[in-house]
Amino acid sequence: MPRPKRPGEAQDVGAFPPAEAGITVVDWIDERTSLSPGIRWMLFRKVPKGINWAYTLGSATLFAFLAQAVTGVFLAMYYRPDAAGGAYESIRYITDDAFLGQFVRGMHKWGASVMIILIFLHMARVFFYGAYKYPRELTWIIGVVLLILTLVMGFTGYLLPFDQRAYWATIVGVNINGTGPFVGPFLSDFLRAGPEFGATTLSRFYAIHMLLVPGAIGALIGAHLYLVSKLGITAPPWLKAEPEPELLEHSEV
Amino acid sequence: MPGTFEGETVNRRRFMNLVTNGAGGVAAVAITLPVLGFAAGPIFSRVPFEWQTIGMPADFPKSTYQTRVVEIVQGIGEAGKTTAYVRARDPSIDTEPEDQYNQFVALSSRCMHLGCPVRFVAAAERFICPCHGGVYDFRGMVAGGPPVRPLDRFYTRLKDGYVQIGPRYSVNSELRRFSPRDPGEPLDGVGQYLYPARFSTSQIPQS
Ligand code: HEM
Ligand code: FES
């Protein structure tokens, strides 16, 4: 237990003494928001002994998502969700004519696969380390929702180039979804905005792909990381707990 | 919960809580319900279909199929078109009951596995799907592979000496007519109940 401070004694400020307030822009903001304790809580938390590179897979997934978000926003500056030919033409323009267009589109296209691979590797790490167990079940459940949403991103994004492959893959995908008993046919109508692939199917997919799902993923990543910080990270399963020597003295064994 | 004085059933704090939460709830519902309805609207609106003239009766022999491109969704160019395979009814093989809508047999090219476009291979007298190996015989009945029901058909009719093509309908393995279903939804046995008709389509050809 820390002893209460006596008058005249120097305050124990830990490893990060507060700077003179109001000198830099950062201090100016911090004086008004008190954001820094939260950031310190997030970044300078304790991690167990023996953690390894596999623990970086979650952050790798996070950065893949951020890369998708940034490149996606800029692709949206040129992309047109027009089923009558404009979508295909705008993608052709990005790829062939726009300065660095092929590069940015390439980052988004390959990055999509990278994110899927990383999210599965991250999930495998959590699974094989048993890191989903109490008290981290909710972190896992949010992770499952993130996984589903990431796959939805893949499905909705695949239609956007609107070439033959995109079109037929989406027809097949929507029909797979339609085979769910009772609700399937209505879900398909919902996805297509009607009984056939129609004029607003593409804009519907585009809105889901660029607004709805990324927003949800962003919010859930926030919750996911809050729980990671709050609960602390698990030690690798092969590491034995080392009890305090004092505790051992008093135990029966 | 008792109030602060005799006979009071709801105290001020509780009342304010109820009002604030209630107002917030009403505001949230007032935003989410309309947008959800907006997004789900197309499930409930019936899409009209126009009869399209596809040729003269003499254009369609009994023994093989002619291809015709039909527009099933207006205003989106190529993406709204589909291919129909059309021939004249041949009473010696077409055993389903005859009526004014099937003097010409018009098969949809949509594979009944998951919706890829099938192609009629004249030499084999078979429809063959490029995606997962679905095969249909000359009448569009499943001959092999994963498709779950025969190829869908279009209503056809004779109008002023021309052959016209109308809405699509689905059939089960006895060629009984059903309102159009999506591919992958079997219509034999319990299938028709597992995959009910949708609000957006109807079985009866309009106009
Ligand atoms: C958008 C996708 C995701 C992002 C950005 C993300 C991010 C992270 C990060 C940065 C960590 C910190 C530890 C580490 O990197 O290993 C973490 C931990 C964790 N993640 Fe994820 N994750 C995602 C998806 C998933 C999925 C699909 C699952 C499982 C279904 C999952 C379950 C967990 C669990 C249980 C932990 C706690 C692990 C521990 O305490 O050792 N996450 N996540
Ligand atoms: S879509 Fe035709 S066999 Fe699968």
Domain that holds residue A191: 53-234
CB of B183 less than 8 A from some CB of A = yes
| C-alpha–C-alpha distance, residues B78 and B66, integer Å | 20
Topology of B52-188 in CATH? Rieske Iron-sulfur Protein (2.102.10)
Name the nearest CA neighbour of B63 among B97, B23, B34, B105: B105
Q: Per-residue pLDDT tens for A138-194?
A: 999 999 999 999 999 999 999 999 999 999 999 999 999 999 999 999 999 999 999
Q: Per-residue pLDDT tens for A225-250?
A: 999 999 999 999 998 877 777 777 76
Partner-chain contact A196 B73, CB within 8 Å:
yes
Most distant pair of Cα atoms in chain B: their distance: 95
Look at A80-84, A119-123, B5-9, B196-200 and tell me which has the smallest mean pLDDT: B5-9
How far is CA B191 from each of CA A182, B116, B150, B181, B195, rounded to the nearest angstrom?
Answer: 10, 21, 14, 11, 6
- Residue A94 maps to a domain: yes
Q: How confident is the model at residue A253 (pLDDT cuts 50, 70, 90)?
A: low
Q: How far is A219 from chain B (nearest CA, A)?
A: 18
Partner-chain contact A85 B77, CB within 8 Å:
yes
Burial level of B161, CB count in 10 A (0-12/13-18/19+)?
Answer: exposed
Q: Say what the pLDDT of residue A7 is.
A: 73
Q: Say what the pLDDT of residue B11 is.
A: 83
Chain B hits for A188, CB-CB cut-off 8 Å, are: 182
Tokens of B79: 């993406």
Q: How confident is the model at residue A17 (pLDDT cuts 50, 70, 90)?
A: low
| A178 Cα to the center of ligand 2, angstroms | 14
- Residue A36 maps to a domain: no
Q: Per-residue pLDDT tens for B25-71?
A: 999 999 999 999 999 999 998 888 889 999 999 999 999 999 999 99
Q: How confident is the model at residue B207 (pLDDT cuts 50, 70, 90)?
A: very low
**Are B71 and B52 in contact, with CB atoms under 8 Å apart?**
yes
- How many Cβ pairs closer than 8 A exist between chain A and B? 94
- Residue A242 maps to a domain: no
CB of A86 less than 8 A from some CB of B = no
Q: Which residues pair with B117 in a beta bridge?
A: B110
* Distance from the Cα of residue B4 to its chain's centroid: 64
Say yes or no: ipTM exceeds 0.90: no
Name the nearest CA neighbour of A208 among A170, A175, A180, A242: A170
Q: Say what the pLDDT of residue A210 is.
A: 97
| C-alpha–C-alpha distance, residues A200 and B78, integer Å | 15
Q: Say what the pLDDT of residue A33 is.
A: 95
**Are B196 and A182 in contact, with CB atoms under 8 Å apart?**
yes
- Residue A38 maps to a domain: no
More confident residue, B6 or A70: A70
Look at A6-10, B22-26, B42-46, B177-181 and tell me which has the smallest mean pLDDT: A6-10
Phi first, then psi, for residue B176 (nearest 5°) are -70, 140
Chain B hits for A167, CB-CB cut-off 8 Å, are: 79
Chain B hits for A83, CB-CB cut-off 8 Å, are: 76-77, 79-80
Q: Per-residue pLDDT tens for A106-142?
A: 999 999 999 999 999 999 999 999 999 999 999 999 9
The dihedral region occupied by B188, where left means phi > 0, alpha psi between -120 and 50, and beta the remainder, is beta
CATH code where residue A114 lies: 1.20.810.10
**Are B155 and A155 in contact, with CB atoms under 8 Å apart?**
no
Q: Could you identify the atom of ligand 2 that is nearest to the CA of residue A172?
A: 1
Q: Could you identify the atom of ligand 1 that is nearest to the CA of residue A132?
A: 35
| A242 Cα to the center of ligand 1, angstroms | 26
Chain A hits for B182, CB-CB cut-off 8 Å, are: 174-175, 178, 184-185, 188
Phi first, then psi, for residue A158 (nearest 5°) are -65, -30
Q: How confident is the model at residue B78 (pLDDT cuts 50, 70, 90)?
A: confident
Q: How many distinct structural domains can be found in chain A? A: 1
- Residue A42 maps to a domain: no
Q: Say what the pLDDT of residue A247 is.
A: 73
| C-alpha–C-alpha distance, residues B126 and B138, integer Å | 5
Q: How confident is the model at residue A23 (pLDDT cuts 50, 70, 90)?
A: confident
Ligand closest to Cα of A130 equals 1
Q: How far is B42 from chain A (nearest CA, A)?
A: 5
| C-alpha–C-alpha distance, residues B158 and B179, integer Å | 21
Mean of pLDDT over chain A = 91
Chain A hits for B130, CB-CB cut-off 8 Å, are: none
Residue A11 has pLDDT above 70, yes or no: no
Q: How far is B160 from chain A (nearest CA, A)?
A: 29
Q: Say what the pLDDT of residue A2 is.
A: 64
Tokens of A55: 């623990």
Of A176, A193, A194, the CB nearest to B184: A176
Partner-chain contact B182 A199, CB within 8 Å:
no
Residue A21 has pLDDT above 80, yes or no: no
Question: How many residues does this entry show for chain A?
Answer: 253
| A173 Cα to the center of ligand 1, angstroms | 28
For A29, the enclosing helix (H) or strand (E) is helix A25-33
Indicate which residue's Cα is closest to atom 9 of ligand 1.
A58
| C-alpha–C-alpha distance, residues B19 and A79, integer Å | 46
The dihedral region occupied by B39, where left means phi > 0, alpha psi between -120 and 50, and beta the remainder, is alpha
The B142-144 sheet, strands edge to edge: B119-121, B126-128, B135-136, B142-144
Residue B151 has pLDDT above 70, yes or no: yes
* Distance from the Cα of residue A211 to its chain's centroid: 15
More confident residue, A184 or A23: A184
CB of B115 less than 8 A from some CB of A = yes
Annotated domain spans of chain B: 1-44, 52-188
- The per-residue b/e assignment along A94-115, b for 16 or more CB within 10 angstroms, e otherwise, is beeebeebeebbebbeebbebb
* Distance from the Cα of residue A194 to its chain's centroid: 32
Residue with tokens 């949809």: B108
Q: Is the CB of B111 under 6 A from ligand 2?
A: yes
- Say which residues have a Cβ less than 8 Å from residue B46's Cβ, sequence separation at least 6: B199, B200, B201, B202
Mean of pLDDT over chain B = 92
Q: How confident is the model at residue A15 (pLDDT cuts 50, 70, 90)?
A: low
Q: Say what the pLDDT of residue A56 is.
A: 97
Tokens of A216: 């949800």
Tokens of A106: 């390439």
Q: Could you identify the atom of ligand 2 that is nearest to the CA of residue B145?
A: 3
Q: How confident is the model at residue B1 (pLDDT cuts 50, 70, 90)?
A: low
Residue with tokens 């109001």: A22
Task: Provide the terminal-to-terminal Cα distance of chain A, rounded to the nearest Å.
Answer: 29
Q: Say what the pLDDT of residue B4 is.
A: 66
Of A171, A175, A195, the CB nearest to B198: A195
